[in-house]
Amino acid sequence: MNSPHDQELPTGLAPYSRSPVFTEKTVPDAFLKDHSTKPGVWGVIHVLSGQLKFTVPSKEADTMIYAGDKATVSHKVLPVGAVSFQIEFWR
């Protein structure tokens, strides 16, 4: 199941990189604030276990994303308990 904030990626993109797997203890501080990728690059969050609170400040919207979900818009995240997740970068 995908997050309500999951968007279709533009056609013609392909994955080119993945972040390390992050946990509630190793999530970078930058991810806890509103952020986005460089122009032409999309980041797809894959929640591997647990859950993240996914916030889209520009839309004043919060959603929980769970293991097996993904999300692809400008956002910030907040770990809710034990979690592991990874970012896949597309261009």
Q: How many DSSP H helices and E strands does the chain contain?
A: 0, 8
Q: Tens digits of per-residue pLDDT, 41-64?
A: 888 889 999 999 888 777 777 888
4 confidence band (pLDDT: 50, 70, 90): very low
- Return the domain boundaries, the chain: 15-90
The distance of Cα 10 from the centroid of its chain, to the nearest Å, equals 17
Asked if 3 and 65 count as a contact pair (C-beta separation under 8 A), the reply is: yes
15-90: CATH homologous superfamily? Jelly Rolls (2.60.120.10)
Q: Is 50 left (phi over 0), alpha (psi -120 to 50) or beta?
A: left
Q: Tens digits of per-residue pLDDT, 10-31?
A: 888 899 999 999 999 999 988 8
